[in-house]
Amino acid sequence: MISDWDCLERARRGDETAWQRLIERYTAQLIKTALLITGSMAAAQDLVQDAFVRLLRHGSRHREGSLGAYLSTIAYRLALKEKERARRNRSVDGLILTNPAPSPLEAVLKKERDRLLARAIRSLEEHHRDTLVLRFYGGHSYDEIARIMNLPIGTVKSRIFYAVKECRRLLREKGILE
């Protein structure tokens, strides 16, 4: 099986199949991460596209860690810049995550749960929120998050612990958790 780094090299040489493989593998994860940081689906989609363009044009000169972590670092930093730009221009009231569900009742319940979860996540302090998003929505290991955010691994673990604890508290208050 070809590694993601080799796939990137092939994509740079014009192999569209290799490029498509990378896009299919990482787009959903990156959009979730960017969406929860920026609060905007349109911005998240644009940021992910920009991250892939930067990866293709500039890429990495080394092959340390996973390509996914490297690409997530690009998307994460772009999302932080976009969030700051958006904060200067306007405020984002809320974030609603929706996915199609089999029944209308399930769709309504999921929408409300996702809305409350997103609100809880967005109410966290920025450093806790970003770490939590990278872990659970970005699918990154503690080591990858430490590299992406340039933090000691103990700090990453602590931030995730306290972020989860605070989200649980907020969701209990809303009656989502017992």
Q: Letter for the amino acid at 99?
A: N
Number of folded domains that form the chain: 2
Domain that holds residue 32: 1-92
Residues 6 or more apart whose CB falls under 8 angstroms from that of 144 comprise 65, 66, 68, 69, 72, 134
pLDDT at residue 162 in the model: 93
* pLDDT 10s digits, 3-41: 888 888 888 888 888 889 988 999 988 988 888 888 888
**pLDDT, position 153:** 93
Model confidence at 91: pLDDT above 70: no
Domain boundary among 65, 92, 119: 92
Categorize the per-residue pLDDT at 101 as very low, low, confident or very high, splitting at 50, 70 and 90.
Answer: very low
* 70 and 2 share one domain: yes
Indicate if 2 and 52 belong to the same structural domain: yes
CB distance 176 to 75 below 8 Å: no
Same domain, 86 and 150: no
Domain termination site, one of 75, 92, 109:
92
Whether residue 63 sits in one domain with residue 28: yes
> How confident is the model over 50-75, as a mean pLDDT?
80
Is pLDDT at 93 greater than 70 in this prediction?
Answer: no
Non-local CB neighbours of 18 within 8 Å, separated by 6+ positions: 2, 7, 8, 10, 11
Specify the pLDDT at position 70. 86
72: tokens are 């997530």
Q: Could you tell me if 1 and 87 lie in one domain?
A: yes
Top pLDDT among 14 and 103 is at 14
List Cβ<8 Å contacts ≥24 apart for 149-154: 149/76
Are 71 and 121 found together in one domain?
no
Q: What does the pLDDT average to over 96-119?
A: 67
Nearest of 22, 36, 60, 40 to residue 137 by alpha carbon: 36
Residue 128 to residue 58: CA distance in whole angstroms: 30
Query: Does residue 90 carry a pLDDT above 60?
Result: no
**Which of the listed residues 68, 92, 116 is the one where a domain comes to its end?**
92
What CA–CA distance (Å, rounded) separates 7 from 124? 37
Residue 175, pLDDT score: 77
